[in-house]
Structure 1
Amino acid sequence: MEISGTAQHEAWQARALPPVEQLRGDLWSIPVPIPHNPLRYNSIYAFALDGGGLGLIDTGWGSDDAWAALTAGLTAIGGDVTDIRGALVTHLHFDHLGLAGRVREASGAWIAMHPADATAVRSLTTSGAQHAVDTEVEFLVGLGADRDEAVSDVGAAENFGAWTSMAVPDRMLEDGEHADFPGWRLRAVHTPGHTPGHLCFAEEATGLFFSGDHVLPRISPNISTNARGGDPLRDYLDSLAAVRDLDPTEVLPAHEWRFRGLADRVDSLTAHHEHRLAELLAAIAAHPGSTPWQLAAHLTWSRPWEQYERRMRIFAVTETDAHLRLLASRGLVVGSGGPVPTWTPAAR
């Protein structure tokens, strides 16, 4: 894999925000900060459109500081937020969709997403923060959490206000459809896993591949279960295989830095998850009859398990559950059933 976003990589090593970059005559990368997050920033991609105006891929975290960074970046490339005609949002997370409503209000731009994530956003905005909290607490209890720990980790409903007021998109993009960006041939590539409706965008004229959070150069995106069910890790691995051989000229992710060598990176991400599955299978053999909450404590993480709490612990446990579901679908483990399933190796 070759690092092509050298300025981004150097900024990352210096723990600084990278510069606004002109990637070609009609394409720019604008870094927008994410508060209190190890990912540090989103790369928002701005396009000059035939006939005038700008298009965006993603919008950034929904905060005043992020808005200031986005608008300053647009000014730096000779534009303004009022020039935006449309925004493609790769997926529903707040660091990608958070500013979409403000962009639409300031410019009249349309907002496009995959229907699966649009449905989830609409549900969040209609059911409210307390419902979101209660649903997540019950889901974690069903994974083996003590109720008091689950309530503490999820937090109070007032912390979810921004999440339940995100912009509901007004345009849907299905797999294979092209975005309405005059002068560009951006084809939506449905890549479920990180979220059910995650989209990448393949630019057919230039060979550029905008990978969102699906393929990042340094880390694996969080692949977690939630109350909606499904088998997200199987979806993710299938989605990786689907993009592996696209052979783009360059990969433009939402975080970290641009790179070349998509197939190599897909192979390393696939190997990472297979290693993780093997580690989890060994933990189940050593601790049969354990819940996902208990099993997460027996896996290798970036820091000691005792330091995990709140959202970090939720991500770790739900990611463990995603790996458990894939092991079960492969016939390697068996769940006990009941309100809090426990897991044992399948009989050979």
Structure 2
Amino acid sequence: MNALEHQLSYPLGDTMPETGTTLEIAPGVRWVRMKLPFALDHINLWLLRDELDGREGWTIVDCGITSDETRAAWERIFDSELGGLPVLRVIVTHMHPDHIGLGHWLTERWNCRLWISATDFNAARLASSSTTGFGGDSAARFMQSHGLTDPSSLDKIRARSNYYASMVPKVPESFRRILDGDVIPIGPAGAKHDWTCHVGYGHAPEHMSLHSAGLGLLISGDMVLPRISTNVSVIDLEPEGNPLPLYLGSIERMRALPADTLVLPSHGKPFRGLHTRIDQLKAHHDERFAELMQACAERALSSADALKVLFKRELDLHQTTFAMGESIAHMNALWHAGKLSRAVGDDGVMRFSATSSGRRTAD
């Protein structure tokens, strides 16, 4: 949790929409809050009043996971919150299950198009039909190679071979591509606002946040969250991946947006203090890098060993899986920067040590 959260401001206080209802944030912009079956127990979704090809209606931004409860909550919203108007399109910030999960159902329900980056669309299609990177034997072997050796945890990871597909059983057959810098006019006829797409890397392959200068709003997706740091992980699909510098560079580019922008995050409450939060997140990762460097100077550490450095609390299996990905991401970043060397021990586990050469060792 963010110990410096008091530096941010929450214009709506503790006011939040109940499941199956909406709360107006700005003219034509409504907040939807859906439940998630995890420790992170909710996701924020957004409804934007719109007109497309001469039809009045609504644009949905992000979908929620595939579940009967989420479908039922959407149906209550359709019945009572849309003023009898249809959904015209569904924009998805990225391919993670809580964001794209019900995309297939929503686009079929309303006979409308999914708008998403091409990379995330194709990644979702792959993940929905593959065991690589989201559980199963490959993920278990990868975690084991980085020091996760508890037999029970590994068995559970192997058993989660359909983890992504269970929450994203189907991805729409077609989509409309959105790119960094695209400007999407959204709003009713005569009252449209331009929403500019801002690409973000590190958390997802090609995450898109949406900024409206006219409304002073940023739908940040998962790139900037007020209370928790964004998950930035390495998975077995790209073992030498280096997503953390990509993530930090992405949020640094968001500093070009006005400091008083009202940020609409996917988790947590709408807040002001975008530049402050960027500073906090960068400082957070700098601190973690420094702690890992000190620990690896004392002895060689696996990424599983590093969990105790990075996380000061007990983790359940779901959290451990994400935490291992984050730990490997931190280790890989320091290795790519030449600050750590790495070697595989006789036990098959990759361990990292501080290096004074400043150069990455070949392996």
Normalised by the length of structure 2, the TM-score is 0.84
| 1:103 equivalent in alignment to 2:115 | no
Tell me the distance in 1 between the aligned counterparts of 2:257 and 2:134.
41
Structure 2 residue corresponding to 1:272, chosen from 284, 293, 299: 284
Tell me the distance in 1 between the aligned counterparts of 2:148 and 2:244.
21
* Kept after mapping to 2: 8 A contact 1:142/1:340: yes
Structure 2 residue corresponding to 1:198, chosen from 193, 207, 211: 207
| 1:233 equivalent in alignment to 2:244 | yes
Name 1:20's counterpart in structure 2.
22
Structure 1 residue corresponding to 2:141, chosen from 130, 138, 145: 138
Tell me the distance in 2 between the aligned counterparts of 1:321 and 1:282.
16
* Kept after mapping to 2: 8 A contact 1:30/1:70: no
Any idea what SS the aligned residue of 1:127 has? coil
Letter in 1 for 2:335: A
Letter in 2 for 1:118: F
* Kept after mapping to 2: 8 A contact 1:33/1:69: no
Q: Alignment length, in residue pairs?
A: 336
Tell me the distance in 1 between the aligned counterparts of 2:255 and 2:19.
30
* Kept after mapping to 2: 8 A contact 1:4/1:257: no
The CA deviation string for residues 72-122 of structure 1, in whole angstroms up to 9 with x for no partner, is: 234332346x71111111111111111111101110121121222112112
- Note the C-alpha offset of 1:250: 0.9
Any idea what SS the aligned residue of 1:255 has? coil
**1:75-90 matches, cutoff 5 A:** 75-79=79-83, 83-90=86-93
Tell me the distance in 2 between the aligned counterparts of 1:130 and 1:313.
15
| 1:60 equivalent in alignment to 2:64 | yes
Letter in 1 for 2:321: I
Name 1:177's counterpart in structure 2.
182
* Kept after mapping to 2: 8 A contact 1:175/1:190: yes
Tell me the distance in 1 between the aligned counterparts of 2:185 and 2:349.
46
| 1:43 equivalent in alignment to 2:44 | yes
Tell me the distance in 1 between the aligned counterparts of 2:355 and 2:279.
28
Judged with a 3 Å threshold, the aligned counterparts in structure 2 of structure 1 residues 23 and 295 are, in CA distance, closer, same or farther, namely closer
Structure 1 residue corresponding to 2:335, chosen from 315, 328, 331: 328
- Note the C-alpha offset of 1:279: 1.3
Any idea what SS the aligned residue of 1:61 has? coil
Tell me the distance in 2 between the aligned counterparts of 1:22 and 1:32.
16
Name 1:253's counterpart in structure 2.
265
Judged with a 3 Å threshold, the aligned counterparts in structure 2 of structure 1 residues 83 and 179 are, in CA distance, closer, same or farther, namely same
Tell me the distance in 1 between the aligned counterparts of 2:96 and 2:202.
13
Normalised by the length of structure 1, the TM-score is 0.88
The CA deviation string for residues 198-237 of structure 1, in whole angstroms up to 9 with x for no partner, is: 1111113322111011101111011111123221111110
Judged with a 3 Å threshold, the aligned counterparts in structure 2 of structure 1 residues 127 and 17 are, in CA distance, closer, same or farther, namely closer
Letter in 2 for 1:4: P
Letter in 1 for 2:105: R
The CA deviation string for residues 36-62 of structure 1, in whole angstroms up to 9 with x for no partner, is: x23222111101113401101101121
Judged with a 3 Å threshold, the aligned counterparts in structure 2 of structure 1 residues 166 and 279 are, in CA distance, closer, same or farther, namely farther
* CA root-mean-square deviation: 2.6
Identity level (%): 25
Tell me the distance in 1 between the aligned counterparts of 2:155 and 2:327.
19
Structure 2 residue corresponding to 1:346, chosen from 325, 350, 355: 355
- Note the C-alpha offset of 1:65: 0.7
Judged with a 3 Å threshold, the aligned counterparts in structure 2 of structure 1 residues 156 and 254 are, in CA distance, closer, same or farther, namely closer
